[in-house]
């Protein structure tokens, strides 16, 4: 009896420490806003956003690389088995189905933000797989991708120019931008293979992380100058736990801690950047999504989140292994709903759904175990209330989004980028920029 009580006590402590997990089936492909919010048990949270603008890498790329690189490049997700659970159609998402931002858009009552070939008032996705923060970083991962500063160029010189004429007044356009959400998943490529191949000999990780923060801050300020006020940024996930790194690098534990430590150096600088930006950019709201913590929770207790495999690729490469990119038109694993990774670098739809719902649902928790920081359902902070457009009484000073600082223009560079990718697509026999691929 004493032993039984001891075990009950241990289990209770374990549950209090780590939580009960979060096993929720991935919803149907065409689920609507109301049903998804019910599915997530967040019906008492209302998010009012006119648009979502998405930036940076393959975690959130939904077709830009596919348009640029064609249907034969794995970085573009342009062939099966990518999209096998998206009505069997490769869309450019480097996974089997939807990505996290798709679920967030649905909760906000918006369509999926389309790739940059299409400009609509509900948002645009500029993300490009293999993109990087630093302009001086080379094209180690791929020659034709859109780096972060170039994505900001395109937002300024393409989307903004196209949208201005659809508003009755400049003030209406400024108000629209101030209420839109700017979602950024960034720096994974800079801290991963790019650092190892190009930067490790030049910089210590501390100096390199500072360079990344400096460039990231510069681009966030550019977006602010252009009218952005509401920013949601994910930190970097534990790259040392990807199937590629686990299978190609020496390590003594379950993951390659050398890489994870490198990531942590950068992640630890983000809160300081947030505090600085929040205090110097009037009316701005910055929220940090702790995707690193989401991964940690899953790796510690995978079955409590519905996962049976946390470190193996679901798809098979050309060598018949699960270490390199997916081979075209070879059926992936059947248990992909229970896997964290779809290919050796990228997440399954299930894991995308998990981090999206954690970012959304944890905003109503006080645990601070991931998602939106310092937010509770019963006592919303003004920061999140301003960010998500919640219908809460707020101090005007905390949510002032009308002030706008005029900054430098980058029109010529933006035109050059569009011409560059137009030329790249024409060279490979693709369609012109601005037409459906």
Cα 410 to chain centroid, rounded = 25
Q: Is the dihedral of CA 355, 123, 219, 271 positive or negative?
A: negative
> Which one of 61, 73, 343, 362 is the catalytic residue?
343
The CA distance from 15 to 131, in Å, is 39
The CA distance from 143 to 129, in Å, is 11
> Which one of 39, 142, 185, 346 is the catalytic residue?
346
For residue 116, the 8-state DSSP code is T
The number of CA neighbours under 13 Å toward the Cβ of 51 is 24
Choose among 293, 287, 306: nearest CA to 367: 293
The CA distance from 405 to 411, in Å, is 17
Q: What is the DSSP string of 255-286?
A: S-HHHHHHHHHHHTTHHHHHHHHHHHSTT-EE
The CA distance from 56 to 36, in Å, is 26
Tell me if residue 346 is catalytic.
yes
Tell me if residue 343 is catalytic.
yes
Task: Describe the crossing of helices 291-300 and 349-361 by its angle, rounded to 10 degrees.
Answer: 120
Helix (H) or strand (E) holding 55: strand 52-56
For residue 157, the 8-state DSSP code is I
> Which one of 39, 56, 57, 58 is the catalytic residue?
58
**What is the DSSP pairing of strand 285-289 with strand 52-56?**
unpaired
What b/e sequence results for 273-287 when a residue is b if at least 16 CB atoms lie within 10 Å of its CB, and e otherwise? bbeebeeebebbbbb
The CA distance from 96 to 80, in Å, is 9
Q: Provide the annotated active-site residues.
A: 58, 343, 346
């Amino acid at each position: 009896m004493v032993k039984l009580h001891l075990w009950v006590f241990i289990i209770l402590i374990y549950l209090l420490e780590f939580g009960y997990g979060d096993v929720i089936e991935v919803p149907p492909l065409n689920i609507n806003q109301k049903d998804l919010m019910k599915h997530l048990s967040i019906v008492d949270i209302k998010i009012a956003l006119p648009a979502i603008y998405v930036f940076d890498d393959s975690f959130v790329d939904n077709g830009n690389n596919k348009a640029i690189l064609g249907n034969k490049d794995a970085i573009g997700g342009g062939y099966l088995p990518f999209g096998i659970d998206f009505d069997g159609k490769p869309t450019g998402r480097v996974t089997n189905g939807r990505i996290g931002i798709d679920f967030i858009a649905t909760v906000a009552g918006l369509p999926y933000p389309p790739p940059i070939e299409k400009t609509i008032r509900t948002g645009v996705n500029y993300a490009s797989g293999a993109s990087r923060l630093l302009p001086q970083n080379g094209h180690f991962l791929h020659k034709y991708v859109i780096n972060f500063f170039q994505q900001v160029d395109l937002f300024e010189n393409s989307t903004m120019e196209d949208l201005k004429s659809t508003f009755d007044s400049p003030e209406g356009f400024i108000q629209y931008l101030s209420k839109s959400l700017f979602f950024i998943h960034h720096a994974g490529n800079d801290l991963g293979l790019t650092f190892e191949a190009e930067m490790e000999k030049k910089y210590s990780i501390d100096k390199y992380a500072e360079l990344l923060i400096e460039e990231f801050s510069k681009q966030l300020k550019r977006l602010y100058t252009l009218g952005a006020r509401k920013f949601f940024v994910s930190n970097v996930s534990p790259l040392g736990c990807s199937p590629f790194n686990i299978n190609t690098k020496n390590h003594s534990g379950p993951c390659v801690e050398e890489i994870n430590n490198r990531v942590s150096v950068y992640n630890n600088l983000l809160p300081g950047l947030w505090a600085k930006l929040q205090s110097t950019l009037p009316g701005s709201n910055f929220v940090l999504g702790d995707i690193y913590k989401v991964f940690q929770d899953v790796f510690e207790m995978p079955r409590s989140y519905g996962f049976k495999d946390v470190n193996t690729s679901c798809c098979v490469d050309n060598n018949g292994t699960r270490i390199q990119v997916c081979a075209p038109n070879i059926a992936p694993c059947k248990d992909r709903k229970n896997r964290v990774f779809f290919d050796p670098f990228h997440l399954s739809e299930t894991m995308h759904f998990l981090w999206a719902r954690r970012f959304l649902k944890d905003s109503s928790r006080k645990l601070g175990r991931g998602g939106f920081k310092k937010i509770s359902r019963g006592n919303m902070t003004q920061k999140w209330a301003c960010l998500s457009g919640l219908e809460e009484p707020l101090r005007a000073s905390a949510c002032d989004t009308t002030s706008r600082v005029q900054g430098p223009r980058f029109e010529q560079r933006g035109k050059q980028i569009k011409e560059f990718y137009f030329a790249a697509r024409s060279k490979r026999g693709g369609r012109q920029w601005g037409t459906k691929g």
